[in-house]
Amino acid sequence: MPVATVGDRAVSERSVTEEAIDRFAEVSGDENPIHLDEEYAAETMFCGRIAHGMLAASVVSAALARLPGDIIYLSQDLRFENPVRPGDTVVAEVAVVESLGGDRLTVETTATVGDETVVSGEAVVLSVPHDGA
């Protein structure tokens, strides 16, 4: 089976609903009221409820999983650049930019809402052939 190589790209998208934010809070244990309480969040610098940054970043993980082979995360540097709000659709794009030798690759990662970047960064992954087991 093929593995990811320099030049490979993948995309994933997810609509962020209030229910998705609530479920992410439940799973992660992050119950910061900026994510869960509209009245509270309205009084913050964000002027309303926002999604967890890691919820937006999870769309990057979904895009990585669409690269050829089995992709295993080794590390991820993230920059949270803009908030994601209920009703937004996050589109994550990943691009393999460098082979580090062996099965290790560097991948540029970006998540956007419309034309605005919400999360950017760089991942190091292993790309190994899928053995079909």
pLDDT of 129: 86
pLDDT at 1 over 70: no
**Residue 113: inside a domain:** yes
**Residue 82: inside a domain:** yes
From the number of C-beta atoms within 10 Å of its C-beta (0-12, 13-18, 19+), residue 91 rates as middle
**pTM attached to this predicted model:** 0.92
**Residue 4: inside a domain:** no
**Residue 71: inside a domain:** yes
Residue 1 burial (CB count, 10 A)? 10
**Residue 133: inside a domain:** no
CATH code of residue 19: 3.10.129.10
**Residue 2: inside a domain:** no
Residue 113 burial (CB count, 10 A)? 20
Instruction: State the pLDDT confidence band at 123, using cuts at 50, 70 and 90.
Output: very high
How many domains does the chain contain in total? 1
Domain holding 14, by residue range, is 9-128
**Residue 114: inside a domain:** yes
The pLDDT tens digits for 76-115 are: 999 999 999 999 999 999 999 999 998 999 999 999 999 9
